[in-house]
Structure 1
């Protein structure tokens, strides 16, 4: 596993032990970051890498100009691998490592006041036609150790954090309803220029978006599908510059 371009090109990354992580392939990564470069989202970006594993996507973003990255993963081995990689690259000061499940981390983030209404609306979205059954349909409780998404209680007048770019590469068995609910919680931490990249199995259905979000581009690479997500209402000329659905 290595960084493929930018300031740290060629640097090898420490991978967490065990077989629970699924690194994004170089082919997918190269295409993904080419698209992100085209959107102009990488330079000086505040990045969030959810289900981070070794941190490969977050570190690739930093190599290409991102300012800082928050890495989130509940596995201790992943947190240790990210810490080792940050130290190896000499960018400890620009990274935050959260050994936490994604739900708990997102629950701890203060949502900016202007996003409060949209946040509560998106969390109330039921997940469309997904029934919670089948290979990709387990509920949030079953996959995330009983952590249930509830209405936030910490919305206040303080300034919350905004992420310019979010990578979300959950385990493929994570249920579609759970993915939708996590995206709903995440939507309050974005602005109109933010991009969320969701990686899923190409055989799985396209993620159902909460009320505040929409998929503006998708691309498949064999067994991997990438979905590019933004807040609804982004200027039409920006959204129209992206192909709606592509395959490779």
Structure 2
């Protein structure tokens, strides 16, 4: 069972998706990842979108550590039910001072990004199924690029054997780290992609 590692909801256990189809990020990877994100000041008051969210562990960890809002997206019904249950810990069940803005969307990642009308994304998690092909990931990143804040951070989790993802123009990898069979890439908009 996943848990919140740090912040206002430290120790809170999250409901797991009742299926073997998801691949939760380990506590060791989460701890290292979020330490790095805090070092980049990527969490404070951030607008977070968690695509392929599963139980929402990455998005909810962000909220616990100071993010302003979370849009959790998954196309699997079991994941969406789990996301809604976990969202209650930060909404109706949380003390008023700890409540956060959370929306849960049952949608395909590409379609969601194509119809999204919220504020620019400041932190984007992409933890797709390892079976998602590079071409499909490229399409999702292309759609996401149009929604990103100029100082956004995109976190991509992949199987270590997959190698670096192909990125559309306007995005570049600024950090990568391997954790056993998992590889994390941090991506940001390039200066050339920023509005003038």
Q: Give the TM-score normalised by structure 2.
A: 0.91
Helix, strand or coil: the match of 1:217? strand
- Deviation, 1:93, is 5.4
Query: Would you say the 8 A contact 1:43–1:65 is kept in 2?
Result: yes
Which residue does 2:111 correspond to in 1?
104
Matches within 5 A, 1:222-233: 222-233=180-191
Residue 158 of structure 2 is aligned to residue 200 of structure 1? yes
- Deviation, 1:218, is 0.4
Helix, strand or coil: the match of 2:88? helix
Distance in 2 separating the partners of 1:187 and 1:103: 12
Matches within 5 A, 1:45-124: 45-90=46-91, 94-110=101-117
Query: Would you say the 8 A contact 2:63–2:100 is kept in 1?
Result: no
Distance in 2 separating the partners of 1:232 and 1:191: 11
Distance in 2 separating the partners of 1:11 and 1:53: 17
Which residue does 1:36 correspond to in 2?
37
Distance in 2 separating the partners of 1:161 and 1:67: 12
Larger % of strand: which?
2
Q: Give the TM-score normalised by structure 1.
A: 0.72
Distance in 2 separating the partners of 1:8 and 1:89: 8
Distance in 2 separating the partners of 1:214 and 1:180: 13
| Higher alpha-carbon deviation: 58-67 or 92-101 | 92-101
Give 1 or 2 for the bigger CA radius of gyration: 1
Q: Which runs of 5+ in 2 are unaligned?
A: none
- Residues 89/161 of structure 1: CA separation in 2 closer, same or farther (3 Å cut): closer
Distance in 2 separating the partners of 1:161 and 1:45: 10
- Deviation, 1:161, is 2.6
- Deviation, 1:181, is 1.2
Q: Which runs of 5+ in 1 are unaligned?
A: 111-159, 235-248
Which residue does 1:178 correspond to in 2?
136
